[in-house]
Amino acid sequence: MKSKITLAFDICKKEKRPALITYTVAGDNTKNNSLKILNELSKHADILELGFAHNTPIADGGQIQGSSHRALKNGIKLKDVFQIVKKFKKINPHKPIILMGYFNLIFQNGENNFLKSCKSSGVDGLIIVDLPYPENKKFANKCKRKSINFIQLLSPTTSKDRMKKIIKDSHDMIYYISMLSTTGGKLKVSPKKILHNYNAIKRINPKKNLVIGFGITDKTISSLKSANGLVVGSMLCKTITESLKMRQNPVTKLGKVVYNLKSKII
């Protein structure tokens, strides 16, 4: 049986466009709003990444740190994250959700326990920022057995040899980090260069769905639209920050932003 993630990519390919993948942090700016935000985003986005906040992130830029900070201040716990997913899935059973975060939260929760909650709430995939290959092999296999996608990351520093191994062990989706940066950095590499690297990775296994993330905003998204998928995160976190500052409703504001992003890649 095809995973919901694969099905989402299949639809996009049929429509000859990249999948739009959004990233927001669970509990930002409140638990309730976070669910409303997912519902709003899902009108235009194909796959939703949902961050579970950690207070000592080693790879997040300022925008996502800000979102995580708000979520933690609101007292967000893993069980709330799963609640949000569960409620979302009740309304949108086919929309894939990928949880993203740092390994210590899973470690403390217990790997099996965590995966059980993923399963029962309807999580489709996981991105664990600080559990690289091959250290992630055991956990990735556990995910596979539960039909949860473990999403491997590749970066501009990943050697070709290593890429081959990672791709061979990957599931339905692979994430290419566009540049040397934490999240939310300015795109400091030309889209041409990014696509050049992207195509080199695709050639290793053209069947794998490869998405690009880091530094993607409404300004840069259209130049990368030949990819299988594009992730926008910091721009959305920033939108929340700014609408809070201006006392606007972040939900409607985000709706407009995602609509605009989508319009640039179709």
Partner 1 sequence: MSLKIKRNIPLIDQHDKNFMYGGKFGGNFIPETLKKPIDDLTKLFTKLRKDKKFLNERDYHFKNYVGAPTPFIKLENLTDHLGGAQIYAKVVSEANGGAHKIYNATVHCLIAKKAGKKYIVGDTGAGYAGKMLSMAAKKFDLKCKIFMGAKDIKRQRPNVEAMKKNGAKIVPVTTGSQTLVDAVSECMRYWVSNCDTTHMCVGSTVGPNIFIKICAWSTAQISRELIKQVYEEFGRVPNKLKLINCVGGGSSAAGFWNEFINTKAQLIGVEAGGPNNSTLHAAPLTNGSKIGILHGAAQYVIQDKEGQIGSTESISAGLDYPGISPLHCFLKDTKRARYTSASDEEALEAYQLVSKLENISPSLEPSHAFAEAIKLAPKLNSSEVIVVNSCGDSLKDKDIIKQKLGSYIR
Residues marked as catalytic: 49, 60
Residue 204 within binding range of partner 1, rule CB under 8 A: no
Residues in the chain: 266
Instruction: Tell how strand 209-213 and strand 19-25 pair up.
Output: unpaired
* Least CB distance to partner 1 at residue 248 (A): 25
Q: Please pick, from the candidates 11, 91, 180, 200, the single residue that binds partner 1 as defined by CB under 8 A.
A: 180
Tell how strand 19-25 and strand 125-128 pair up. Answer: unpaired
Rounded Cα distance, 132 and 121, in Å: 25
Cis peptide before 29 (omega within 30 of 0): yes
Looking at residues 184 to 203 of the shown chain, list those that interact with partner 1 (rule: CB under 8 A): 185
- Per CB under 8 A, the list member of 92, 182, 205, 222 interacting with partner 1 is 182
Closer to partner 1 at the Cβ: 90 or 157?
157
Q: In Å, how far from its chain's centre is CA 186?
A: 18
Choose which of 99, 154, 224, 258 interacts with partner 1 (CB under 8 A). 154
Pairing type for strands 152-154 and 149-150 reads: unpaired
C-beta neighbour count of 247 within 10 angstroms: 6
Q: 28 with 34: CB under 8 angstroms?
A: yes
Examine residue 59 and tell whether it contacts partner 1 (CB under 8 A).
Answer: yes
Pairing of strands 149-150, 173-177: unpaired
Contact letters for partner 1, residues 112-131 (x by CB under 8 A): -----------------xxx
| Beta carbons of 187 and 235 less than 8 angstroms apart | no
Distances (CA, A) of 12 to 9, 150, 216, 226: 5, 21, 19, 11
Task: Examine residue 246 and tell whether it contacts partner 1 (CB under 8 A).
Answer: no
Cis geometry, peptide bond prior to residue 191 (ω within 30 degrees of 0): no
Residue 159 touches partner 1, criterion: CB under 8 A: yes
By rule CB under 8 A, what count of residues binds partner 1? 40
Strand 152-154 vs strand 229-232: parallel, antiparallel, or unpaired?
unpaired
Q: Is 245 in the site for partner 1 (CB under 8 A)?
A: no
Q: Shortest distance, CB of residue 56 to partner 1, whole angstroms?
A: 4
One residue of 10, 11, 32, 104 binding partner 1 per CB under 8 A? 104
Contact between 30 and partner 1 per CB under 8 A: no
With binding defined as CB under 8 A, does residue 139 bind partner 1? no
* Residue 72 touching partner 1 (CB under 8 A): yes
103 binds partner 1 (CB under 8 A): yes
The one-letter code for the residue type at 128 is I
Interface contacts to partner 1, rule CB under 8 A: 54-61, 65, 69, 72, 77-78, 102-109, 129-133, 135, 153-159, 162, 177, 180-182, 185
